[in-house]
Amino acid sequence: MSAKPAISYQKVSKSFGSLKAVDDVSFDVADGEFVAIVGGSGSGKTTLLRLANRLIEPDSGTITVEGEDVRNVDPVALRRRIGYVFQSGGLFPHLSVADNIGITPKLLGEAAATIAGRVDELLELVRLDRASHRGRLPEALSGGQRQRVGVARALAARPRIVLMDEPFGALDPLTRDALGDDYRSLHRKLGLTTVMITHDMTEAILLADRIAVMRGGRLLAQGTAAELSSSSSDYVLELLRTPRRQVERLNVLLPVGGAA
C-alpha cells in the first residue's frame, strides 16, 4: 500500500434538512485496502460513500480521491474512474449484458472491438459463460447473475477504486457467500481499493481488511475486528457480539462433523 490514501475524508459533514447524515467525519482509505463501513439504517454510511464520487456534495469538509480534491474534478469524469456497485445491480433493463458492461468504455470513446474484448474478459472474470450471457437482458438473469454483471460493469473502465453499496444484501445466503468470496479474490488479483457498505458485521469481518462503524452520522470506531474488540463503545461491542452469538447457537444446533 502507498502512503497516499486512495480516499480521504477530512471533517466532512452533510445534512438533509434537519437531519445530519454525516457529522464531522475524518477517515482515510489506504491504496489497495478493502474497507467495510458498517452501521444501521440512517447511520450515514451510504451518504459517506456517495460523497466520494460526488453523487452528493458535502456541506463542509474536504474529500480527496487519489490526492485530488474532488471539488476540482468534473463529477462525470470522477464517476467514470471510480467503479460503483449498487445493491440490486443497477443494470439498465433495456440493454443486454454486453451493452451494460460496455457502457462506460463506450462513453469514454473506446473502439467497439476493444469493448467487445473487454466484455468477454470481464464475463470470464466474474464467472459467467460468455456465449450464454452476452445477449441476455437483465430480466432473464438470477439475482446473483445480475450482481456479477454489476461487478463486471463497475470494473469495465479499469478503475483503481470500487465503491459497493450493500452489494450482496438482497441475495440468498449461498449466492451471497460465493459472490463475496469471488469479489474478495478479484480485489486482490486486480489490486483494487474497495469501500463496501454493509449492515452485516459477519460479512464485514470475513471480507474486509478494516471496518469502520457509523452511528447517527458519526464515525464511532475503525480498525480490524480484533482492534474493534477493545473499543470503548457499547454499540461497537454489541455489533461484534452478534456474530459470536450466531456461532455459539450454530455450534449447539449443528452436529459436529457429518457423513463422509
Mean pLDDT of all residues in 43-72: 96
97 and 211 co-located in one domain: no
7 and 26 co-located in one domain: yes
Let me know if residue 202 belongs to a domain. Answer: yes
38 and 105 co-located in one domain: no
pLDDT in tens, 82-132: 999 988 778 999 999 999 999 999 999 999 999 999 999 999 999 999 999
Q: What is the pLDDT of residue 92?
A: 95
Percent of the chain surpassing pLDDT 70: 97
Distance CA 25, CA 214 (A): 10
Q: What is the pLDDT of residue 214?
A: 96
pLDDT in tens, 209-220: 999 999 999 999
Let me know if residue 151 belongs to a domain. Answer: yes
When divided into structural domains, the chain yields a total of 2
108 and 182 co-located in one domain: no
Let me know if residue 250 belongs to a domain. Answer: no
Let me know if residue 242 belongs to a domain. Answer: no
Of residues 248 and 70, the one with the higher pLDDT is 70
| pLDDT tier for residue 236 given thresholds of 50, 70 and 90 | very high
Let me know if residue 254 belongs to a domain. Answer: no
| pLDDT tier for residue 169 given thresholds of 50, 70 and 90 | confident
pLDDT in tens, 175-200: 889 999 999 999 999 999 999 999 88
12 and 65 co-located in one domain: yes
100 and 27 co-located in one domain: no
Q: What is the pLDDT of residue 135?
A: 96
Q: What is the pLDDT of residue 19?
A: 94
- pLDDT for residue 249 is more than 80: no
Q: What is the pLDDT of residue 1?
A: 44
Q: Are 239 and 205 in contact (CB under 8 A)?
A: no
Let me know if residue 253 belongs to a domain. Answer: no
Q: Residue 109 contacts by C-beta under 8 Å, 6 or more apart in sequence?
A: none
62 and 112 co-located in one domain: no
14 and 70 co-located in one domain: yes
Mean pLDDT of all residues in 135-145: 94
Range of the domain at 172: 1-81+162-223
Distance CA 6, CA 130 (A): 33
Overall pTM surpassing 0.95 (yes/no): no
Q: What angle do CA 42, 149, 140 make, to 5 degrees?
A: 105
Percent of the chain surpassing pLDDT 90: 79
Neighbour count for residue 234 (Cβ, 10 Å): 9
37 and 96 co-located in one domain: no
Report the CATH number that the domain containing residue 42 is assigned in CATH.
3.40.50.300
* Listed residue (187, 127, 120) closest to 159, CA to CA: 187
| pLDDT tier for residue 260 given thresholds of 50, 70 and 90 | very low
* Listed residue (132, 55, 59, 70) closest to 98, CA to CA: 132
Distance CA 58, CA 22 (A): 9
| pLDDT tier for residue 258 given thresholds of 50, 70 and 90 | low
Q: What is the pLDDT of residue 87?
A: 83
Let me know if residue 206 belongs to a domain. Answer: yes
Q: Which three cell numbers stand for residue 253?
A: 444446533
- pLDDT for residue 37 is more than 80: yes
CA 45 vs. chain centroid, Å, equals: 11
34 and 68 co-located in one domain: yes
DSSP string over 9-23: EEEEEEEETTEEEEE
Question: Which residue carries 454483471 as its cell?
Answer: 149
Let me know if residue 171 belongs to a domain. Answer: yes
Last residue of a domain, one of 135, 158, 181: 158
Q: What angle do CA 49, 55, 59 make, to 5 degrees?
A: 80
Q: Residue 89 contacts by C-beta under 8 Å, 6 or more apart in sequence?
A: 138, 143, 146, 147, 149, 150
69 and 190 co-located in one domain: yes
Q: What is the pLDDT of residue 5?
A: 95
Mean pLDDT of all residues in 39-64: 95
3-class secondary structure, 166: coil
How far does the chain reach from its first CA to its final CA, in angstroms?
Answer: 43
Whole-number mean pLDDT of the chain?
A: 92
Question: Which residue carries 463475496 as its cell?
Answer: 180
Q: Is 128 exposed, middle or buried (0-12, 13-18, 19+ CB in 10 A)?
A: buried
42 and 171 co-located in one domain: yes
Q: What is the pLDDT of residue 257?
A: 65
Distance CA 104, CA 3 (A): 30
